[in-house]
Amino acid sequence: MKLWMKSCLSLLLVLSLLFSAAVYAGAAATEDEAATPDQAEPGFIYVSEAAVSSRGFYAAVQSALYEARDNATADDPYTVVAPEGSYDLSYVLRVYSNTTLALSGVTLKRAGAGAGNMLRVGDEDGENTGVTGYAYENVRVLGGTFDGNMGENTIIKAFHTKNFSMIGVTLLNEKEGHMTEFAGVDGLTIRGCTFKDQLLTPGNYGYEAIQLDVLHPFHITNGRCEDLPVSNVLIEYCAFENMPRAIGSHTAVHNRPHDKITIRNNSFTDMSSIAIQGMNWTNVDIYGNVIVNAPRGITIYAEPGGCTYLSSKLAAKGGTQSHASDSYQTPPKANIEIHENVLINIGSTDDKYASYSSQGIAVLGEKLTSKMPVDGNDESGGLPAGDYYIDGVKIHDNYIDVRGNGIRVEDARGVKIIDNSIICTKNTVHKDNYYGIVLRSNVTASDVSYNYILGAEVNGIQLDGTNGGSVGTVKYNRIEYCGKYGIGAYTMKFTNIYDNDIVGTKNIGLFMADNSTASEVKWNRIRDCSQNGIWITSNSKASLVESNTTVNCSGSNSYGGSTVKSNYTSGASLTSFHIPWYYETPRKGATLGVGRSFKITPDVRPTNALTSFTYSSSDESVVLAFDTGMIYGVGEGKATITVKSDNGVTKQYPVTVEGDGAAKQLTAEPAAPVLILGDADGSGVVDSIDTALIQRVGAGMDVPYSLVTLSHADVDSDDYLTILDVTYIQCYLANISTPYKIGEAF
């Protein structure tokens, strides 16, 4: 997150890096000398203040955009630069292919009856006339503020477009509509933007600040109907505040998912519905986001969640080609990964737009037992019967402070839920049965492990196989002070239930019922439960129940039809522990990037040791350590995590924070980082690749961010990646001395 904030450059630098223009010539121009369109250097159109004064902002800038439309090509793109200032905008600005609209220092306020959208890619078409496919390409908006003035139309729209970018743009004050809307876009980048104050009256539909939509006239006016999905999406380092939904979809195309969606390192504050909601998304990576104050945090739905269209209907309506079958097809691999997000105060307010249960993170498939009817209002529906499950779900290393379900998964395959910290508080605004983790409606999970769950209203972990499903391993979960059961299983098939620590439930610690089966139930420690420690009903069984510890539970244990060997009825004092994480061998430390996290879960010896742990960091400017065992990288450097048991046994785990890569678990102590000044990609040598990476970051272009480390690349230590850093490295490569020790370790 810091990398983007520290690498924001002036408009002129951005333009120079994108298009190899002369930086300082533009910077030196005075207001009176500002170029008019016919005076600008090739590829640049500088709209002068005089032109704006005489013709008005809209006419002056739109004229320049038309000139760019008529002349720009992929090989020779154009940039339209507007003069700084605040202007009223009464009509929509239209931008076309191979054009950048540069608005640094510009504030536009929507005004006048003719002002609907403020910015749009391309011309207005009919539902069956106009462009098809990805007709527009390579469009950028750099900087600027769009004040919607509580108008009731979407502020920025792009349809039928390939490669659309918004960088450093601010959008404010929208009413009853989306702030931005994208349909039929392949290659959507939104970076470093701010979205604030979006008002929606219940009964209206413009929920999302960033809406990934479908090309149907009920949802997209003045755009030709077609079954094009949105794909190759990157939304990062953006801030969202005071709106219903920040990012999402409430429309989809049957058998034609929105694909390759990355949402990372954004902040969300004061949502009135949800921060992120996906519908029929595949290949999704959602990480590093911070969500504060929302009824719901993150939810991904399968197709039939509402407003799903048959491809043939869209094609027929638009006179376009259908690209997908209307029949039921086995769902493709969805590959949903949701990780390292921080969710705070979720569920303290109710969703005022619909009766949703509160939840931190949810992934929800759906099974249709009959054909879905067609909606007479928007023509969606008509989907055939079938199981629309979601295949491939990994939810890990999230911190969730919730009044509701922490993590909820339904009708999904290939599920892993590991290393999450879930802090539950009673929900007072929306009543329901809430769990720390709940899997139901035919979920197949390989792993529900290493999670910390505190204070779930009902069960800490609810595993309901009534409609099918199975779970591989449930291990190393610590579950405290739940309203009913620590782990509750119904008609569920398990492989193993190992090493779970369950404390202070108001009913049973570990409960298996309704023909649930497990291979082994071993090494679980259960204490201070109001009723039984372990209760396996007569119609359920485990092949082996052994070495479990139950202490200070009011009722005796019951093992159903299980094979039972030695179990403990008293605890022992801890003598040692190690950190297994995903593996059964001890780990000696870790490396991780800024903004990334991992969770420490001690494995105790002897197996009936009853203890608790505290976690501390030697340097909180580098690493934070939370009471749940969650470790979070704050800034580059090296720190030591101390883990201490309540009887004084301690171990230390060195952690190195560098770059922004995911945590790596080490069997040997991590070496101190070797930082070579100018070595932006950490290759161990300073070369021309380092200059290229710094240029791309400064220009807001896509780079593998784990390759760019600020402490390496910022050679003059001004906390910015600028042209000066590039210049000093180039001097070094040309054997010219610099005031900085380029190429030397520090």
Instruction: Report pLDDT digits (tens) over 490-511.
Output: 999 999 999 999 999 999 999 9
Distances (CA, A) of 429 to 243, 347, 404, 432: 19, 8, 10, 10
Q: Which residue has the higher pLDDT, 105 or 731?
A: 105
Q: Which residue has the higher pLDDT, 31 or 380?
A: 380
Q: What is the DSSP string of 115-135?
A: ---SEEES---BTTBS--SS-
Q: 32 CB contacts (<8 Å, ≥6 apart)?
A: none
Whether 662 and 700 map to the same domain: the answer is no
Answer yes or no: is 21 within a domain.
Answer: yes
Whether 708 and 644 map to the same domain: the answer is no
Closest CA to 300 of 324, 279, 272: 279
Read off the pLDDT of each residue in 375-397 and give the average, rounded to a whole number: 94
649, 666, 683 - which closes a domain: 666
Given phi > 0 = left and psi -120 to 50 = alpha, else beta, which region is 452? beta
Burial (CB count within 10 angstroms: exposed 0-12, middle 13-18, buried 19+), residue 719: exposed
Residue 608's domain is classified under what CATH number? 2.60.40.1080
In three-state secondary structure terms, 541 is strand
Answer yes or no: is 607 within a domain.
Answer: yes
Angle ∠(421,425,429) on CA atoms, nearest 5: 130
Read off the pLDDT of each residue in 717-737 and give the average, rounded to a whole number: 81
Answer yes or no: is 608 within a domain.
Answer: yes
Q: Is the pLDDT score of 29 beyond 90?
A: no
Assign 584 a pLDDT band (cuts: 50, 70, 90): low
Whether 694 and 662 map to the same domain: the answer is no
Read off the pLDDT of each residue in 447-467 and give the average, rounded to a whole number: 97
Whether 581 and 658 map to the same domain: the answer is yes
Q: What does the buried/exposed string (b/e) look like for 332-342 if buried means 16 or more CB atoms within 10 Å of the residue's CB?
A: eebbbbbbbbb
Given phi > 0 = left and psi -120 to 50 = alpha, else beta, which region is 130? left
Most confident region among 22-31, 437-446, 718-727 by mean pLDDT: 437-446
If one counts every other C-beta atom within 10 angstroms of the C-beta of residue 683, the result is: 13
Read off the pLDDT of each residue in 144-169 and give the average, rounded to a whole number: 96
Identify whether the C-beta of residue 353 lies closer than 8 Å to the C-beta of residue 204.
no
Say how far apart CA 120 and CA 91 lie, in whole Å: 11
Q: What is the DSSP string of 603-623?
A: EEESTTB---EEEEES-TTTE
Kindly report which listed range (136-150, 204-218, 706-720) carries the lowest average pLDDT score: 706-720
Answer yes or no: is 177 within a domain.
Answer: no
Say how far apart CA 386 and CA 253 lie, in whole Å: 16
Residue 11's pLDDT is 28
* Tokens (6 digits) for 239: 């801030």
Q: Is the pLDDT score of 590 beyond 60?
A: yes
Q: 431 CB contacts (<8 Å, ≥6 apart)?
A: none
CA dihedral angle for residue 533, residue 536, residue 537, residue 539, rounded to 10 degrees:
180
Whether 655 and 716 map to the same domain: the answer is no
Output DSSP code: residue 381.
Answer: B
Say how far apart CA 19 and CA 11 lie, in whole Å: 12
Which residue has 């069956």 as its token pair? Answer: 128
Say how far apart CA 429 and CA 662 lie, in whole Å: 37
Residue 708's pLDDT is 56
Q: Is the pLDDT score of 582 beyond 50?
A: yes
Length of the chain: 746
Say how far apart CA 383 and CA 259 lie, in whole Å: 20
Say how far apart CA 55 and CA 317 lie, in whole Å: 40
Give kind and range of the element (H or E) at residue 4.
helix 2-6
Task: Write out pLDDT tens, residues 100-109.
Answer: 999 999 999 9
Say how far apart CA 443 and CA 154 lie, in whole Å: 38
Whether 678 and 643 map to the same domain: the answer is no
Answer yes or no: is 371 within a domain.
Answer: no
Amino acid in the structure at residue 451: N
Q: Which residue has the higher pLDDT, 291 or 703?
A: 291
What share of the chain in percent tops pLDDT 90? 77
Whether 629 and 646 map to the same domain: the answer is yes
Distances (CA, A) of 210 to 15, 182, 265, 341: 26, 8, 16, 19
Identify whether the C-beta of residue 611 lies closer than 8 Å to the C-beta of residue 574.
yes
Q: Is the pLDDT score of 48 beyond 90?
A: yes
Q: Is the pLDDT score of 698 beyond 60?
A: yes
Read off the pLDDT of each residue in 14-40 and give the average, rounded to a whole number: 33
Whether 658 and 693 map to the same domain: the answer is no
What share of the chain in percent tops pLDDT 70? 90
- The overall average pLDDT reported for the chain is 89
Number of domains in the chain: 2
Assign 21 a pLDDT band (cuts: 50, 70, 90): very low
Residue 583's pLDDT is 55
Q: 151 CB contacts (<8 Å, ≥6 apart)?
A: 110, 115, 116, 174, 175, 177
Output DSSP code: residue 736.
Answer: -
Answer yes or no: is 93 within a domain.
Answer: no
* Tokens (6 digits) for 500: 């779970």
Residues of the chain by 3-state class (helix, strand, coil), percent to 5: 10, 45, 45
* Tokens (6 digits) for 259: 């694909």
Closest CA to 501 of 511, 516, 486: 486
Read off the pLDDT of each residue in 420-448 and give the average, rounded to a whole number: 97
Q: Which residue has the higher pLDDT, 115 or 1?
A: 115
Q: 137 CB contacts (<8 Å, ≥6 apart)?
A: 74, 97, 98, 161, 162, 163
Task: Write out pLDDT tens, residues 292-334.
Answer: 999 999 999 998 766 899 999 999 999 999 999 999 999 999 9
624, 641, 666 - which closes a domain: 666
Sign of CA dihedral 93, 138, 249, 240: negative
Amino acid in the structure at residue 717: S
Residue 672's pLDDT is 64
Say how far apart CA 278 and CA 302 lie, in whole Å: 8
- Domain extent, residue 635, equals 576-666
Say how far apart CA 667 and CA 117 lie, in whole Å: 56
Whether 592 and 650 map to the same domain: the answer is yes
Task: Write out pLDDT tens, residues 519-571.
Answer: 999 999 999 999 999 999 999 999 999 999 999 999 999 999 999 999 999 99
Answer yes or no: is 197 within a domain.
Answer: no
Whether 624 and 684 map to the same domain: the answer is no
Say how far apart CA 36 and CA 22 lie, in whole Å: 17
Answer yes or no: is 308 within a domain.
Answer: no
Give kind and range of the element (H or E) at residue 732.
helix 723-733
pTM for the complete prediction?
A: 0.88
640, 666, 692 - which closes a domain: 666
Assign 27 a pLDDT band (cuts: 50, 70, 90): very low
